[in-house]
């Protein structure tokens, strides 16, 4: 697989230009990192940078023999319909990347004229956004994906992958983490989705409203419920087994997965798999998880009463009434493992069927990375739910 990475105007100055926004990584260092990520993903990376619109268009045209494109158009993002048309004309899956959170800066930076011809837009993740773009393109190439709208909003979509082999297929609904913020998106679980599909699971990797794009407790949980319920709309045509639907969530997605069991979904949930979940909002608030992420999700100030957390916190809604698999690494740097210890213990006390694994020496991201040993433990347990 060959991926062309194109950086636009002023990207040659990263490392020295506004390091408080773009970081201290230079373009040469960025390109070296991308080549390394390409080796990990077993693909060939070609890199290019120009400050000139016409040169970028020519390089896009020359990329037609490649398998995918990653582009950071810089300021051209906001007005170059010529670059937009070039992306559209070459017909390659293209990922738009921005180092900074363009939705949290000047209003004019929030406008992109190229997004509608790209398969994904990644922003606000810093330099690792390029790594995520590479992973997204390789995941798309690894297994066919159908993107389906489950509601009227732009975030009401999910990626459906169907396994080969005997049907009907058990379904794994995937809920990504990222502290409920819109800088995170469903591409984070692409590698997990591909591996699960290879193992015989139909995967429904969903997007939903997040903080920064209209999300918050009520709107986000409503989207998740709607996405799970929408499986009934296309189950027959895709040979899905709706008697075996497992919801798998990571981090804040683990919180949403646990909370999905509280409501009455149109599609019954067979089990919940919560990976490093935020199962107790008050404990997460007190621990400062995500630097104010809980407050932003709940739209509350730190001084407001914890009563606001009751409806939104899984631990306050026990028992959940479905089998629970909870996995957490003891070196998790984003969600304290103590939250899962407490949640799993109380869930068992309240009568829920709970399997709890605390993995020694494991951090947060390893739980969803198929190249890591922690994922083997996760997937072995998930396969037992089939």
What secondary structure letter does DSSP report for 181?
A: B
Encoded tokens for 282: 């008050």
Which 3 state secondary structure label does DSSP give 49? strand
Beta strands at 120-123 and 202-206: parallel, antiparallel or unpaired: unpaired
374 vs 327: CA distance, rounded Å: 9
Beta bridge partners of 271: 246
Q: Is residue 236 exposed (0-12), middle (13-18) or buried (19+ Cβ within 10 Å)?
A: exposed
- C-alpha 27/C-alpha 31 separation (Å) is 6
d(CA 227, CA 236) in angstroms, rounded, equals 16
Name the token pair of 245. 């639907």
Residue in 22, 48, 130, 150 annotated catalytic = 22
Cβ contacts of residue 32 below 8 Å, gap of 6+? none
Nearest Cα to Cα of residue 158 among 230, 71, 94: 230
Helix (H, G, I), strand (E, B) or coil at 122: strand
**Residue of 35, 52, 81, 98 marked active site:** 98
Q: Which residue has the tokens 């591996």?
A: 195
- Which helix or strand (DSSP H or E) is residue 121 part of? strand 120-123
Contact present, 223 and 155 (Cβ < 8 Å): yes
Residue 98 among the catalytic residues: yes
Find all residues with CB under 8 Å of 165, minimum gap 6, and list them.
Answer: 200
308-312: Cβ within 8 A, 24+ apart: 309/281, 309/282, 309/285, 311/217, 312/217, 312/221, 312/259, 312/281
How are the residues of the chain apportioned to helix, strand and coil, as percentages rounded to the nearest 5? 40, 20, 40
* Cα–Cα dist 278/230, whole Å: 25
Q: Which residues are catalytic?
A: 22, 98
């Amino acid at each position: 697989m060959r991926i062309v990475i194109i950086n636009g105007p002023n990207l040659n100055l990263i490392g020295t230009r506004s390091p408080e926004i773009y970081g201290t990584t230079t373009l040469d260092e960025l390109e070296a990192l991308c080549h390394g990520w390409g080796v990990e993903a077993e693909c060939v990376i070609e890199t290019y940078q120009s400050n000139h619109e016409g040169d970028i268009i020519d390089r896009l045209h020359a990329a037609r023999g490649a398998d995918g494109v990653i582009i950071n158009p810089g300021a051209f993002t906001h007005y170059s319909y010529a670059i937009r048309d070039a992306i559209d004309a070459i017909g390659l899956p293209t990922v738009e990347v921005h180092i900074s959170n363009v939705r949290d800066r000047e209003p004019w930076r929030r406008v992109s004229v190229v997004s509608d011809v790209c398969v994904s837009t990644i922003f606000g993740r810093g330099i690792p956004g390029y790594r995520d773009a590479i992973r997204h393109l390789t995941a798309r190439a690894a297994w066919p994906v159908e993107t389906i709208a489950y509601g009227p909003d732009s975030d009401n979509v999910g990626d459906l992958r169907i396994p080969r082999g005997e049907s009907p297929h058990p379904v794994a609904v995937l809920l990504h983490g990222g502290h409920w913020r819109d800088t995170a998106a469903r591409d984070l679980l692409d590698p997990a989705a591909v591996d699960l599909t290879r193992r015989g699971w139909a995967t429904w990797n969903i997007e939903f409203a997040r903080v920064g794009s209209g999300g918050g407790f009520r709107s986000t949980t409503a989207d998740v419920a709607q996405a799970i319920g929408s499986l009934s709309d296309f189950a027959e045509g895709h040979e899905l087994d709706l008697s075996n639907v497992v919801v798998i969530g990571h981090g804040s997605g683990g919180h949403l997965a646990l909370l999905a069991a509280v409501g009455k979904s149109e599609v019954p949930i067979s089990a919940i798999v919560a990976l490093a979940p935020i199962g107790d909002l008050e404990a997460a608030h007190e621990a400062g998880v995500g630097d104010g992420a809980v407050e932003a999700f709940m739209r509350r100030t730190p001084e407001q009463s914890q009563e606001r957390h009751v409806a939104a916190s899984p631990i306050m809604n026990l028992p959940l009434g479905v089998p629970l698999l909870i996995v957490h690494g003891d070196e998790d740097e984003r969600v304290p493992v103590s939250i899962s210890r407490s949640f799993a213990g109380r869930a068992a006390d309240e009568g829920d069927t709970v399997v709890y694994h605390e993995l020694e020496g494991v951090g947060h991201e390893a739980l969803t990375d198929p190249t890591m040993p922690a994922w083997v433990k996760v997937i072995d347990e998930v396969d037992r739910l089939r």
